[in-house]
């Protein structure tokens, strides 16, 4: 029972939030005349001492006291005596832990937002540097159309921006204070819940005392946003793994983010990217774990809710580490522009440009142009040459109206430069997008 019931081994991470909320609660009790100013001053002094002991690694956590709340309160009683017993007036561990956990998740959101902003900055910097660096764009991991590396990186800037938006949205809904809900029904003491909410930086007290102690939507929203962000990082990590392989050689990860093999001296393993990719599984698993915990709980509080913290702590740690590693890889990687350009020129990546030329120049319906282009590609494939190396006569055998002017659109440079629509891959559009992204980066 001791082992299954105690949570202090992991919820000790809430010590700063617990002490901060206790101090705010004590101040409110004094202002409302519920405890004396002398007792309030002693509680405040004692809480500061407890905080200093924990931060100085001089505090002994006792599993027999179950959780962080009772550990702090017991030590407070040892330090200041009887006044410590007044701190728990008009509150319960139920509203206490709900408040502490909200404060912790809110701080994690703020920290992650700053880290994700730094990742965006790294991506934007590299996108500007490679606004005109041509690479193959893929669908189905097959060469599709030429794009620029800068354009590709900016796709992740947009994805990370949405991640930050989801976290900020979650923060808005999180920012209500449970303190004062007590066990589940409120309290008969004349407390000022608005005062404690304001002191702790919340927008308002939670409106319903049952919901205040039973709700963990804030943790679920955080985990949901974290899971989507981790999925985005995993997609980028997968591309870094592919691009750094000997078969692609588009990029080279620095020694700081690669490792060697224990028996194969030639290896440069993209371990950091692979671990970022794997972290997504832990973070997504944390979301599922807490959803399953919550799905069958009757209101208000059940000890099941003790299982909310470990997955949330682990997910926050894992995501923070993955974001930092990804930012480092993006800033440190070296691009092989020649390898990218050579790959973009293979695989008949300008076939769509040929079809578009047939539509614009000869006035053909696109479906007809598509059919003709497919047959021309087959001819080039049979000859083992690129489209821009296929003799004009071969093209005219499929469509007599084709002229030598068609070769102007068949280079990868011309293809990329022509994609000038909003959000397109033309280098100038990429530079415009870089400026716009920087302007949004706050």
List residues with catalytic annotation.
140, 261
* Residue 48, C-beta contacts closer than 8 angstroms, at least 6 positions apart: none
Reference 8, options 109, 97, 115; nearest CA is: 97
Query: Is the separation of the CB atoms in 205 and 99 below 8 Å?
Result: no
Distance in angstroms (rounded) separating the CA atoms of residues 357 and 386: 17
Q: 3-class DSSP state for residue 432?
A: helix
Query: Is the separation of the CB atoms in 410 and 388 below 8 Å?
Result: yes
Please provide the DSSP assignment of 237-301 as one string. Answer: HHHHHHHTSTTT-SEE--GGG-B--SS-TT--B-HHHHHHHHHHHHHHHHHHHHHHHHTTPPSS-
Distance in angstroms (rounded) separating the CA atoms of residues 428 and 412: 15
Composition of the chain by helix, strand, coil, percent to 5:
70, 5, 25
Reported residue count of the chain is 442
Reading the block at residue 76, the tokens are 């407070």
Reading the block at residue 249, the tokens are 């050689």
Tokens 């102690």 -> residue = 213
- E strands, 292-440, are 334-335
Q: 3-class DSSP state for residue 84?
A: helix
CA–CA distance from 206 to each of 63, 103, 168, 193, 298 (Å)?
Answer: 31, 14, 19, 9, 19
Reference 204, options 164, 176, 242; nearest CA is: 176
CA–CA distance from 342 to each of 151, 336, 377 (Å)?
Answer: 18, 10, 18
Pairing of strands 204-205, 176-177: parallel
H/E segment holding residue 135? strand 134-139
Reading the block at residue 433, the tokens are 């997008």
């Amino acid at each position: 029972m001791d082992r299954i019931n105690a949570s202090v081994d992991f919820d000790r991470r809430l010590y700063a939030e617990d002490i901060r909320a206790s101090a705010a609660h004590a101040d409110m009790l004094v202002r409302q005349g519920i405890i004396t100013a002398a007792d309030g001053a002693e509680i405040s002094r004692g809480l500061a001492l407890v905080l200093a002991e924990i931060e100085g690694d001089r505090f002994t956590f006792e599993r027999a006291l179950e959780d962080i709340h009772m550990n702090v309160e017991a030590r407070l009683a040892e330090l200041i005596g009887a006044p410590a017993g007044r701190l728990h007036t008009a509150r319960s561990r139920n509203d206490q832990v709900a408040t502490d956990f909200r404060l912790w998740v809110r701080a994690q959101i703020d920290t992650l937002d700053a880290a994700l902003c730094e990742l965006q900055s790294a991506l934007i910097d590299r996108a500007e540097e490679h606004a005109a660096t041509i690479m193959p764009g893929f669908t189905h991991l097959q060469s599709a159309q030429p794009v620029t590396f800068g354009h590709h990186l900016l796709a992740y800037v947009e994805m990370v921006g949405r991640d930050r938006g989801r976290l900020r949205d979650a923060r808005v809904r999180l920012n209500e204070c449970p303190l004062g809900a007590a066990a589940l029904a409120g309290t008969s003491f004349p407390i000022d819940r608005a005062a404690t909410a304001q002191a702790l930086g919340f927008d308002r007290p939670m409106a319903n005392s049952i919901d205040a102690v039973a709700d963990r939507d804030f943790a679920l929203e955080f985990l949901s946003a974290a899971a989507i962000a981790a999925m985005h990082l995993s997609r980028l990590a997968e591309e870094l793994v592919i691009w750094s392989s000997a078969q692609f050689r588009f990029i080279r990860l620095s020694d700081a983010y690669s490792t060697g093999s224990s028996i194969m001296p030639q290896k440069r393993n993209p371990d950091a990217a692979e671990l970022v990719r794997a972290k997504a599984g832990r973070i997504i698993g944390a979301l599922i774990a807490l959803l399953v915990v919550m799905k069958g709980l009757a209101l208000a509080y059940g000890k099941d809710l003790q299982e909310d913290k470990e997955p949330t702590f682990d997910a926050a740690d894992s995501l923070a580490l993955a974001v930092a590693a990804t930012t480092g890889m993006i800033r440190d990687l070296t691009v092989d522009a020649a390898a990218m350009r050579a790959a973009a020129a293979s695989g008949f990546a300008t076939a769509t440009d040929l079809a578009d030329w047939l539509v614009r120049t000869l006035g053909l319906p696109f479906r007809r142009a598509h059919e003709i282009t497919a047959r021309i590609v087959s001819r080039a494939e049979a000859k083992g040459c690129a489209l821009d190396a296929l003799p004009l006569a071969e093209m005219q055998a499929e469509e007599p109206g084709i002229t030598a002017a068609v070769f102007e659109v068949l280079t990868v440079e011309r293809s990329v430069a022509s994609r000038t629509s909003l959000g397109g891959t033309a280098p100038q559009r990429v530079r415009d997008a870089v400026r716009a992204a920087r302007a949004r980066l706050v």
